[in-house]
Chains A and B, each alone.
Chain A
């Protein structure tokens, strides 16, 4: 009897099975639900309804705006931190880096709860009444707080990989510190910016735990929207999920996230 030959390809089988059952089949199911009505007939009613309903469209726009603001604020905070840490000659700089990343290891819900309590405390006892209804502010604050490490880490690793002699070469050729920053540091840290942006932008569009807990349930983002629809109307829920997929696909494509070389140069956690 001939034994079946064990090749390296055999090792792929579990992964292929996983891909089929947990990626491809669910996608097809979503596609199917999105373009069928409650009697399982093919129809475009969900599609038409979605794009003719201003509340649905405005939710997508709100989500985009919140995600965009979160990403920009995270980048504005993370970039200087990563730059200073990567270029410092401190022997213990990993300790500082660690302090930024450490919150990631504490349960996510606990952290968001803690922020909510902190805001409550500030608005009731601290006299900052405006905080009570600043739902969008609190949501963005919570998201920045949660996703900041995902921005800092790729930026830091990319900047660490920039050869310090390039800075010296730039200065040697007559560039001021400011010119060196714009013409050497910024372009060479772009892969890190891209992976950081991808890692912050996408979760902040869908992570409704933060918006629910900090936004007094007044802030609805796409993630929440999908969750709610899957309670009673799978067809509309699937349509929203599909629209989100397209938005995500487009934004990833725009930031160049599909270029193999770029991701290789960028930093992964």
Chain B
């Protein structure tokens, strides 16, 4: 079994009151190339910064070779970082930049005095040793002869190499790389990817790499940690993450996917797009599932031979394949194929059982903690919504003074009653008129599900999420207000439930 060089145990991080890392636990094997992958703001850089020591976890532990280093300052950790913007010292030349860490270092040397007694001395590295090490680091990054150059005369790619040399010259146990290729152009980036991978092989140390570029992650990593919203979504090899995404977020983020709602209709049988398919995943009968099909897993054939039939509505040439979009009933499916088709052509489509991935839907309903107000409305998720409070007590009604009269004739003042609020996935509508709904927020996620979009709207203050389906196309980060019809808000009393437990 491989040795765990870094282990995070239930690490949580708040910036002021914002939760950025939510109870993250994982380990990194020694010598591994591991990538934190996720959209911006998912917490991947924060995780890296906590390993480097620039940020301290609010709770939880970070272990290095089994020792707790959670609170150790960065200069005491045997890790080095390649920064996003390189962070080279502008007042030093290339040699001085790379030698910076070596000049700070002290090594223990053993000497023997005239009496033959051995004694130890903590000493700085000699000039000669430093020059040798810098020279070796420069040759690793292919920058021999650049020692005297000033940082400002270097190109982006050369600065990048100096930044890498400055980190690896200290022979760290772990090299942390924070989106190091983000500022380079595409061709340069591809070359550096290969070089970094090669460097990793030669140096044999652990690389922890942060990127939002899924292709980069797939190309370079031994292991990928997919993160979103401060939570680890999936950990696995690139192939495993691509072929067996554990949820719709991963499926959507890594590569192209067709994501649809389906229902399990039998043993390893799932129904979606109006047809029943064989699959490999087992789920309970009649369970609603998310179905993920990669575009390259849909095979085109003659219309009469296909389980699904549809009409080609667009064809885009992508270099090595065509991206064909087909209309199947009210669904749109994306197919990748080396064969081209014409727009308007009728085609048949088949999907092999191993091309169909079923996932438990993350969201089946929206649940909030709410409070009944004076006017028999309910307050939750930074807003106030009209609702029918009589559903809390069967057979009750509201009298003229806005009191609730139960079936038994009891008079109840519901003000400040804590309730559980439940809203279905299809009962929410949004509007760009901020005044139209009960609360407002920003769209934080959009996933296309073949015939509709699944949106998540997050309120700004308490960060409550509304998950729902809509036919309309919105943009991520749109500011919208959330509308819920009065009869679609399901309320239940909270304290009653607690008693049941």
Contact = CB atoms under 8 A, between A and B. Distances in A.
A20 interface: no
B89 interface: yes
Contacts of A171: 53-54, 73-75
A172 B52 contact: yes
Nearest to B73: A171
Nearest to A165: B87
Interface stretch (A40-48, A50-58, A174-182, A228-236): A174-182
B81 A172 contact: yes
A175 B91 contact: no
A168 B75 contact: no
A55 B105 CA distance: 56
Contacts of A170: 89, 100
A173 B91 contact: no
Given A172-B74, A176-B75, A187 B91 contact: yes
B439 interface: no
Contact of A175 (B80, B84, B87, B100): B100
B67 to A, nearest CB: 18
B108 interface: no
Interface residues of B, number: 24
A69 interface: no
Given A168-B87, A169-B89, A174 B54 contact: no
Given A168-B54, A168-B74, A179-B104, A174 B87 contact: no
Interface in B66-101: 73-75, 79-81, 83-85, 87-91, 100-101
A169 B81 contact: yes
B83 A169 contact: yes
B166 interface: yes
B170 interface: yes
B83 A165 contact: yes
A199 B235 CA distance: 59
A173 B101 contact: yes
A172 B90 contact: no
A175 B170 CA distance: 12
Contacts of B84: 165
A173 B83 contact: no
Nearest to A166: B87
B332 to A, nearest CB: 44
Contacts of A169: 81, 83, 87-89
B85 A163 contact: yes
A163 B83 CA distance: 12
The 6 tightest CB contacts between A and B, nearest first, are A173-B101, A165-B87, A174-B104, A169-B87, A171-B74, A175-B104
21 contacts: A165-B84, A166-B89, A168-B52, A169-B88, A170-B89, A171-B53, A171-B73, A171-B74, A172-B54, A172-B74, A172-B167, A173-B75, A173-B80, A173-B100, A173-B101, A173-B167, A174-B75, A174-B101, A174-B104, A179-B104, A183-B100
